[in-house]
Amino acid sequence: MAYILNVPTFSDSRGSLSVMEKFLPFEIKRFYYIYNASSKRGGHRHKKAMQGLVCVGGSCEIYVHNGEFETIFLLDSPDKCLILDPKDWHTMDQFTNHATLLVFSSEYYDLNDYIDEAYEK
């Protein structure tokens, strides 16, 4: 099931610095970011890919269903990282203005890794 990790962050009078080095439970093979989102994104799960999601600006909600349990995670701070297992069906929604969602993946893009069928509720 999906879970939140607190990103190591160092803050002082100059601001904050968050570090993803040796932090994620997988090797990063791909990363991308979603911005200017005007509607729901995602709507799939994976065969192999694990993901780490960080909303580096603004906020958004991530709906997750692992076939047994479902929950909604609020990503509203750049020091929160949501870890998704391959089996986690997920959608991203409720993006605030200027929200930017950074996604790290354990796999390179492969259309065959995507499962578009949602779990039955």
Q: What is the pLDDT of residues 46-89, one digit of tens each?
A: 999 999 999 999 999 999 999 999 999 999 999 999 999 999 99
Beta-strand runs (E) in 3-105: 3-6, 9-12, 15-18, 30-35, 41-46, 51-57, 60-65, 70-75, 80-84, 89-93, 100-105
pLDDT of 121 > 80? The answer is: no
pLDDT of 16 > 80? The answer is: yes
pLDDT of 17 > 80? The answer is: yes
Q: What is the pLDDT of residues 93-110, one digit of tens each?
A: 999 999 999 999 999 999
Q: What angle do CA 98, 103, 104 make, to 5 degrees?
A: 155
91 burial level (CB within 10 Å; 0-12, 13-18, 19+): middle
**pLDDT at res. 31:** 97
Determine the average pLDDT of the residues in 29-33.
98
**pLDDT at res. 34:** 98
Residue 46 known to be catalytic: no
> What does each C-alpha distance from 7 to 48, 73, 82, 86, 109 come to in angstroms?
24, 16, 10, 21, 25
| Domains along the chain with CATH numbers | 3-7+29-110 (2.60.120.10)
**pLDDT at res. 98:** 95
**pLDDT at res. 120:** 86
More confident residue, 98 or 120: 98
More confident residue, 121 or 27: 27
How far is Cα 21 from Cα 18, in angstroms, rounded to an integer? Answer: 9
How far is Cα 54 from Cα 22, in angstroms, rounded to an integer? Answer: 16
Among candidate residues 44, 46, 65, 90, the one labeled active-site is 44
